[in-house]
Amino acid sequence: MTGTSKGLSRVALALALLLLAPALGCETKAVTIAIPGYGLGDVDGIQLWRLDESTGRYVRVCRLEIGVPRTPKAGVEVLPYLQVCAAPGQIGMDMQATISRLPTDPSTIVVKLFYFRFAAPGQYRASSYNSAGESALSPTALTL
């Protein structure tokens, strides 16, 4: 299979999963996030946290493992990522997002990531991680 064929197969699989998401009991949500330090190699992924209403604390629900940016089309950078969740029945899926870089800080990227939410709607925060550890939770909470 050629590189183009593989790419088209992945796109077809991603589209099929997006269409099947409601039948699988999940909802697709888009989250736009700025990732400071990514251009310096300081970030390996994003950890999503959901507010546990019974305890009032945020708990880990999924991580988005991010890869090395690619430029499949001239001038368009994309970020490959994989959603990995601990709950049974949830699958990981290779996805990609278009990268925008801040003109004032090219090491910060802004991406629109898709998140497949299997749980009930709730309040979410994010942190970034790498081999040295994890950042603090984002100051902003989103309802997903």
Tokens representing residue 117 in the block: 């939410």
Instruction: Determine the structural domain holding residue 21 and report its residue range.
Output: 3-143
* Number of domains the chain is built from: 1
Q: Over the range 104-117, which residues count as b (16 or more CB within 10 Å of their CB) and which as e?
A: eeeebbebebbbbb
CA distance 132 to 139: 21
Q: Quick: pLDDT tens for 70-102.
A: 988 888 999 999 998 876 656 677 899 999 999
Pick 17 or 29 by higher pLDDT: 29
DSSP string of 72-100, one letter each residue:
EETTEEEEEEEEEE-STT---EEEEEEEE
Q: Quick: pLDDT tens for 35-71.
A: 999 989 999 999 999 999 999 999 999 999 999 999 8
Say how many C-beta atoms besides its own lie within 10 A of residue 45's C-beta. Answer: 18
What's the chain's average pLDDT? 83
pTM for the predicted model, two decimal places:
0.77
